[in-house]
A and B are shown apart, each in its own frame.
Chain A
Amino acid sequence: MRLNFAGAGAGQGCVAFPTSPPSRVGGTTRWTLAEAQAGSEIDRAREVAEERALVEAAAAGSTAAFEKLYRRHVARVHGLCLRMTAQRETAEDCVQETFVQAWRNLPRFEVRSGFATWLHRIAVNAVLAQKRRRFESLGVDGSVDDVIAETLADANVSDPGARRDIEAAIASLPRGARHVLVLCGVYGYSHDETSAMLGIAVGTCKAQLHRARQLLGARLESAEEDR
């Protein structure tokens, strides 16, 4: 099997594979699958190394390096906070708190563990701390829908209406069920990881996920009927 990326040669702004030059067959540039895989692995390794260097520089006090880390991770951290809080303002506060806490705790970060996962744990703590401070005084914020809609429009995804329905249904879930669904269902954390992050028992986590899925299914069905 061969992958055929017509015109995907070096110098055209595409991923540069540091392997042997591609062969030209009938005016078409071809990469073998093995080359493509090796290339993506090398890119990934390079990315990891770059991030490690940024983390080390930031831990040594470089705010420029930390800003680069922020730019790399802010969207995912914000997505997590927004979905967990269902409040735009609160989510932004949590994002700020996450990065401030990350900066303060960087010297304690073990480079071999994943920086994104570490940030997510801090973000979950920030969300839970916000929840305690605000004592759930605020309900679901309609502006979440707008933020998600903008993202979906920017990402040019297929069927944005259906995805918007899902986001709205997630935002309307009860807090506990929403937290578990976001971490397990959207961000792919295991029950063990999710329960550790939220400080709940694994059994509770499973029960909450089951409840969340049932509620979500029912709400999506009703949204579908309305459309």
Chain B
Amino acid sequence: MTQTNDTGQDERLDRALQSLPRGVEPTRDLWPRIEARLERTAAEAPAQAPRRAWAWQAAAAVLLVAGTALLTATLVQRSRDASLAQSPPPAAVPGVRAMPAVFGPAHAPNPEYDAARQQLSAMLQQKMAQMPLSARQKLEANLAEMQRAAAEINAALDQQPGDPLLEELLLNTYHDELAMLAVVNQLTSTSDAGTPADATRMQL
């Protein structure tokens, strides 16, 4: 009986809540103040978001370049060692993925950035082909994990645009990526190990 009463009360409450008007007009017109704020950021208003997206892309491109340069330095060292050991490097590495630098479908990457990214990715792929299998697998798994994380954060950003926490997480992901390259460098560098790793630490 009590349950029936509760159910009845719940239904009445639901009906009451659903009967409320969803829209409530503000007591004054807010548009002039909004428009003034849009005008203050006028030049940037429509272009701000693409610029912002571009800023992210540029930041990731810098990371990509830094990472690639770092690996190149490491691998030059490694190939010197490899030639000493007279072991030929593997010819191709199927499935090796380059740096993530993914921004999600909504970010409409700039074509110039895309071209640069592809070029740098190809370079990285080539260098990774010269790495030992175990290190390469580790790097590949970590890159894939970060790629997945970045994609998830980007998807969440599409739902919650401008969310500062998500933006910070995205930036952290790219920082982690560079940090991982520093680890790779430490793992692979031999005699003059200090130089590239220190350089990376400074960039971080």
Contacts and interface: CB of A to CB of B under 8 A. Distances in A.
B1 interface: no
Interface of A: 58-61, 63, 66-67, 70-71, 74-76, 78-79, 82-83, 88, 91-92, 95-96, 99-101, 103-110, 118, 121-122, 125, 147-148, 150-152, 154-155, 157, 162-163, 166-167, 181, 185-188, 196-197, 213, 216-217, 220
Contact of A151 (B25, B31, B49): B25
Nearest to B165: A199
Contact of A104 (B25, B49, B107): B49
A125 B48 contact: no
Contacts, number: 136
B114 interface: no
Interface string B1-19: 0000000011001101111
B27 A107 contact: no
A100 B34 contact: yes
Given A79-B22, A79-B24, A216 B13 contact: yes
Interface residues of B, number: 44
Contact of A79 (B13, B23, B48): B23
A187 B22 contact: yes
Contacts of A100: 34, 37-38
B33 A96 contact: yes
A89 to B, nearest CB: 10
Sort A-B residue pairs by CB-CB distance and give the 7 closest, nearest first. A75-B23, A61-B46, A105-B161, A79-B24, A107-B49, A185-B17, A151-B24
